[in-house]
Structure formats: C-alpha cells, structure tokens
Amino acid sequence: MTLTGALLSHYRRHPLQLAALALMILLATMLWSGVHQLTGQARDSLARAEQSLSGGREAVRSDGQPVTVDDFVRLRRAGVCVMPWLEVPDPDGPGRLVGIDPLAGQCLVSDSHSGRAPALDGDPFVDIHRAATVSAATPVDSPLHLIVGESPGPLPPGYESAPFQRGPDTGELGRSFLLNLDALGALVLMITALLLRAVYRLGQAQRETSFVLLARYGVPDRVIRRRLVLEILLLSALCIGPGVWAGSALARLLGNGFGASLEGLFDLPLYAGGTDWLTPALVMTAVVVLACVSDLLVPARCRAWLDRGGRSLWPGVILAAVGGAAVLVVSGLAATFAAVAVVFAGVGLLVPTVLSHLADRLAARGVDELRRWRWRELGVMARRLALPVVALQFTLALVLAVQALVASFEQTFEGWLDQRLAADWYLDVPAGADAGPAADWLAGQLAGVDGAAWHRIRRGSATVASIGADDGTRASHRLDLLAVAPIGPLLTRWHLLASADRPWDALARGDGVMINEQAARRFGWVIGDRLRLGEAAPGAATDGLPVLGVYADYGRPEGEVLVAGSRWPAGQTPSFEGFAIEPGTADIDRLIDGVTRRWGGEAPEVQENRAIRASANAVFQRTFVLTRAMTLLTLVLAGTALLVMGLVFITSRAWYFRLLRAWGLSGREVFSQLLRLCLGLTLGVALLALPLGIWLTWVLVGRINPEAFGWSLPMAVYPGFWLELLVLSALIGLGIAGLMRRSLAREATS
C-alpha cells in the first residue's frame, strides 16, 4: 500500500467524517461567498453612485414631460454636451444596468473641472442600445436622463437644467448596514472554523496510531505533515469551487430582495456587478487550512500551554468582562464588533470549563454509582467536544438574537404603521392643482361628522439650522420637511420617543417643530433645541423654533422635520401634496367626487389603507431575508457538526457502554444512560446559550441597530422561541443517541 493510500484509509473506515468535512466546507463557502458577493456589489454601487456623476446636472423639459431619444438628438445637434443615462434591471442577475453612449460621454471628460473621466467603464455600464432593448422587454418603466456637463451654458428653448443626484446622502448608514452583514459573515466563518477544527482534530486523534505505525516503517514526520496539508488542500479544492458557485446562485436568489431593501432603506441602487470567484476561494481555503492544520505550525510546548489555559476559568472571565465593559463605552460599529468578538472569545473559553466543572461537582455529590458515572462522562464530553460545543452555543445565541431582532422589528413596524396609516383613504393632489379650495371644502363637509378626521399633507425639503444659546447659527443641513394641517387625531396618535409638555397643542399653534429619530441621532438635537427653517433673511429674527418632540420613523434614512401647515415656507412648492381622510359616516365616493370637481375634473390618485400597508410590509419582509438565511444555514452547520462529533466521540468510548452491559444493565437501560448523556450535553449547551443570546439581542437593538439603520428598537425577548431552541437541541441529542444505538447494535451482532 502506498503512503497516500495508507493515509486515506482512515476515511474509508469513517466515511461520515469525510462527508461532514466536505458538507461543512461546501455550506460555509456558499453562505459566506453569497454574502460577500452581495455586500461587495452594494459597496461598488455606493462608490459608483458617489463618484460617477454624483452631484451633476441633467437636462429636463420645461413643460414637465419626460425626455426622449428625440430630445437627446435635438440637444446634441444644438451643440450641448449631453449623454443619455438609462437604468434598467439586469436580465442576467440582481442589480441594475446603466445604458450610456460612450462617444457622447467623451465631452463630459473635457468639460470636467477635475480633468478626470467619470467611472463609466465596465459593470454596470453598457451601451445605450442594449439598455433600451432590455427596457422595452421589461414591464417596469425606466425613465431616460440626459446628463449635461459641469458648464453646460444656455440650453435651447424648452429645456432647463436640474440636479442629477445618484449618490445617496445617507451613505454612512448604507456602509454601516453592509458592515453589519460583514460582521455576521465573519461570525459564520469563525463558527465554521471551530466546527472544522473539531471534526478534523478528532479524526487526527483516531489516526494517531496509524501515524506511529508509519513512523516505525521509516516515514519521516515532516513527510506525513506535508501529506496532511496536501490532503486538506485537495479537499478544499473539491468543495470550495462548488461552494462559490452555489454562493453565486444564492446571491442571485436573494439579490432582488436585497436590492429592494437597500434602495428602500438607504436610497442606494444596487447596480449589476461581476462575480468575484477568487476572493471567496482564497479566503475559504485559508480558513479551512488554518482551522485544520494550524497545529502543525504551533510548537508542541505552546500547544501544551494553551491546553492548560483552556482548563482555567480566569482567562475567559477576564476576556468576557473586558469585552462587556468595552461594548458599553466604545462608539462606532467597528469598535462595537471588536468588543463583541472579545466577549465571544471569553465565553468560548468559559463554557466547556463551566460544563466540565459543573459535571464534576454533580458527580462528587452523587450517591448512585451510575449517576456519578454519567456525570463524569458528561464532563469528559464537555472537554473533548469543546470546539463543537462552543460553536453550537454561538450559533444558538446568534439565532436567538437575530430572531428577537427580526420579531421586534416586525412587531414595532406593525405598531408604527397603525399610527402612520391611521386614515382609511389617501388622496394625492394632481400636479399643478391647487389644494387650498379642496382643503376648505373637505373641512366644511367633515365638520361634525361622527368618526371623521382628515388633514392636508405637504412634503418637500428645507435647510434646517440649529441655533445656539448665543443666537449664533450652527451647522445647517438639508432635511425633508413635512407639513400637516390641521393637527388632529390622525396625527396625535403618534407615539413620541421624547417630548415637551403638551407638544401637539404647541405644534398646532405653530410654536415649535418635531423631528424624527434619525435627525435627532445624527445631529444630536434634543428637546428644547431651537431650529430655523430656510435661509435667514437679512435683519430677520434668528431665534428659531423649539424642538417639541422626537418621533420614530422606521424605514427611512433621511432626517425629517414636522411642522404645522402654517409654517410651510412661503413661496416654496411642495414636491408632494395629498390628503389623509377618515370619512367616518360620510360617503368617501362623494368626497372624492367633490375634490375632483374643485380641480377642474382632474381625478386624484386614490389609495386605500390596506394597499399601502401591503406594499410596505412586502418591502420590509425582504429586509432580513439574508440574515435569516445565514442564521438558518449556520444552525444547520452547527447541528450537523455536533451530531457527527458526538457520534464519533461516543463510538470511540463504546467499550464503556459494553461494560455497562457486563455490569448487568439491559440494552434498554444502556440506551437510557446514553440518551441522558446526549440530552444533558445538548440541553446544557442550549441553556448556556440563552444568556449570551439575550445579551447579544441587547447589543443588536441598543447599539448596532441605531448605527446600521439610524433608528432604535425596543428590547424584547421571546421565551416561546427559547423553547423551540431547547426542543431543537433535544432533537440533536436524540439524533446522537439514536445513531449510537444503531452503531452499538451492529457491533453486538458482528
């Protein structure tokens, strides 16, 4: 037999170990590479949006009609530097393609003050003809934009220039969200490394006798080590390639929902991008090799020191305490994630030691010999299966925390929608129509009607400046502006996160403003701060209006200011205008017909509450799809690994169970001891995962979520889900015991 055949004979005897290693490498590669491709594509989209033509200008028609190809031809013939920009869905995957005319774009380079060409080559940019073909075959309307140079000069009659902004103002929030996903991906890699190392090391322990025999036959130790490294590299090569391909398929499957979430949450379009195969392959190969054969790189003296340290409680206690304190005081996502990693490292050192010490104490106090044996055996299992036990605990804690985050968000979002969509009907004012006469008519028609309420909505933007105590103007910001009149029951149902005394009465009088949570967090504004809307006129008073309240505003990254209708800036045209109507006993069809007549017969767009809620829920159901997929697959990884590890470990100690038979126990009694042992291990891990999961839930909702999304969530726990995790852990224990029973039965009959 050759040396290679001798080394591989172990996997012929234990094919389950080889299958477990291959499955874990494949699943981990698929999961991490899929996340890497989506986040990398989103980061590239953010960079494209900010660098390509962000902050530029476009040519629009003075009559408000959309521009067409004929307008592009007319402007080019008039000597205007203009380039078409057409965004369409990518037919081959998630994201968008951008159709441009490279020849027309050359003038933008020469017209640029920086002298640098915009980044218009490669993905997602394609020829305008291909984009137009895709647009014609897509039911979604794709508007054409005509980009002009930085100094376009006077445009021909019938055209004017307008800002063209593709770079989101909330890029920091978008980056925070992507960093959040990267951190989750890193945790998946860490759990995978622990699991791989556990399965591989147990296999190496089983192969130790073979290594000694090969050494006696004259095979040098360095040759055996090189062959082991080559073995794991070969396994990685066979599994990582299909894993990256599966990750690409996962990215395509989740890409559309992920892109919709990015655009809805952060104003960030997801542009099409190429598939990055090399980075995931290299990273996963490095993780697999270091996890499995790192012992070959660590001197034996260091390994012995690490093993002695792993049996002590103090290193874990110190790390967990330092990391927990750091989470409370550090700022920024990166620092928070680093502190969380320190806590996880400390807990990882503590859990096997705590389980082992607890089992030994219970064994010392036992009066029944069989019970003492069972507790001693559980302590041995906790020490020998330390890595998969820690990985399962981390996974259970992660699943618990993510489930609590998602459930809290869904519950909070439902309550928020109940407040925001309090009216039954919403009417959009047609473009160019005067909403004033309709508002006066509605006020007269609904006055005194049982259960009736309504208000007029105007949306736009305004420059908002904070006024200091010395009446000096601090930094000003461009924020969304929301004006509502009258301030009635449809609005006063809103729950305020913070407020002054009787805030709604003061807002109705025009004696102050309210801001959303995003503005409060981003700019540090609190109740009582004074804000000025618009640019201050020469000689005008600069005392501003006080902040009366802070309201939750889930799902939007922008800062917003809420004012009474009387405080709408004079002469400013709103970008949106509409009515929210709760008709009570009034006939809604008659009300719609009445406002239509006051707009010269031009009917408004009418939306019912149920349709708006369904659309909003559909968007936010996609927000955590990727997170849920990651946690589910990670749980499958950890459960499978512990199942395999427990089976292999107990199989290696099968002679203990045969000794129980020699002591006079029946086969059913031996299986009962085995079952108690397996359930004790898996349920003990699940119970220890609960406090870590609750703490991680607090970190997610109280520290990470405000940084990543711009809003906070209430801390909530769900004991029902804890029970589900305990049941799942019990099923894993039952699986180990069931497989072991079959193994013992086969040995007994052989």
Strand 473-485 relative to strand 560-564: parallel, antiparallel, unpaired?
A: parallel
pLDDT at 170: 47
State yes or no: pLDDT of 44 exceeds 80.
Answer: no
pLDDT at 668: 81
State yes or no: pLDDT of 607 exceeds 60.
Answer: yes
> Tokens for 194?
């622990």
Q: Confirm if 677 and 384 have CB atoms less than 8 A apart.
A: no
pLDDT at 129: 78
Mean confidence (pLDDT) of the chain: 76
Least confident of 246-250, 270-274, 352-356: 270-274
pLDDT at 325: 92
Q: What's the rounded Cα separation, in Å, for the pair 708 and 44?
A: 18
Residue-wise pLDDT tens digits, 555-581: 666 789 999 988 888 878 888 888 988
> Tokens for 108?
């933008």
Q: Confirm if 84 and 72 have CB atoms less than 8 A apart.
A: yes
Strand partners, 458: 483, 577
pLDDT at 551: 92
SS3 145: strand
pLDDT at 458: 92
DSSP letter assigned to residue 550: E
State yes or no: pLDDT of 620 exceeds 50.
Answer: yes
What would the mean pLDDT of 239-265 be, rounded to a whole number?
73
State yes or no: pLDDT of 175 exceeds 80.
Answer: no
**Residue that wins the pLDDT comparison between 363 and 409:** 363
Q: Confirm if 270 and 90 have CB atoms less than 8 A apart.
A: no
744: confidence class by pLDDT, cuts 50, 70, 90: low
Nearest C-alpha neighbor of 561 from the set 571, 550, 572, 570: 550
- Give Cβ neighbours of residue 278 (< 8 Å, ≥ 6 apart): none
State yes or no: pLDDT of 307 exceeds 60.
Answer: no
**Alpha-carbon distance values, 238 to 7, 249, 281 (Å):** 18, 18, 11
**572 — phi, psi (to 5°)?**
-95, 130
Residue with tokens 């270091």: 290
Residue-wise pLDDT tens digits, 642-674: 666 666 666 666 677 777 777 777 778 878 888
State yes or no: pLDDT of 588 exceeds 50.
Answer: yes
**Residue that wins the pLDDT comparison between 50 and 687:** 687
What would the mean pLDDT of 448-455 be, rounded to a whole number?
84
Q: What's the rounded Cα separation, in Å, for the pair 84 and 86?
A: 7
Sheet of 159-164, strand order: 125-127, 96-100, 82-89, 144-148, 56-61, 159-164
Percentage above 70 pLDDT, the chain: 75
Percentage above 90 pLDDT, the chain: 6
pLDDT at 161: 77
State yes or no: pLDDT of 434 exceeds 70.
Answer: yes
pLDDT at 274: 63
pLDDT at 504: 93
Q: What's the rounded Cα separation, in Å, for the pair 656 and 659?
A: 5
State yes or no: pLDDT of 471 exceeds 60.
Answer: no
What would the mean pLDDT of 422-428 be, rounded to a whole number?
85
Nearest C-alpha neighbor of 52 from the set 4, 141, 112: 112
Least confident of 205-214, 245-254, 618-627, 664-673: 618-627
Q: What's the rounded Cα separation, in Å, for the pair 412 and 417?
A: 9
Counts for the chain of helices (H) and strands (E), in that order: 25, 16
What would the mean pLDDT of 336-354 be, rounded to a whole number?
86
Instruction: Indicate the pTM of the whole model.
Output: 0.68
**Residue that wins the pLDDT comparison between 472 and 392:** 392
Residue with tokens 């100094």: 151
Q: What's the rounded Cα separation, in Å, for the pair 624 and 632?
A: 12
State yes or no: pLDDT of 537 exceeds 90.
Answer: no
State yes or no: pLDDT of 207 exceeds 60.
Answer: yes
pLDDT at 549: 94
What would the mean pLDDT of 190-209 be, rounded to a whole number?
74
SS3 545: strand
pLDDT at 116: 47
pLDDT at 470: 55
pLDDT at 43: 66
State yes or no: pLDDT of 469 exceeds 50.
Answer: yes
State yes or no: pLDDT of 413 exceeds 70.
Answer: yes
Residue-wise pLDDT tens digits, 473-532: 567 788 889 999 999 888 888 889 999 999 999 999 999 999 998 889 888 899 999 998
pLDDT at 550: 94
pLDDT at 541: 42
Least confident of 60-74, 104-118, 648-662, 681-695: 104-118
**Residue that wins the pLDDT comparison between 536 and 424:** 424
SS3 459: strand
Residue-wise pLDDT tens digits, 74-105: 888 887 888 888 877 777 766 677 788 777 66
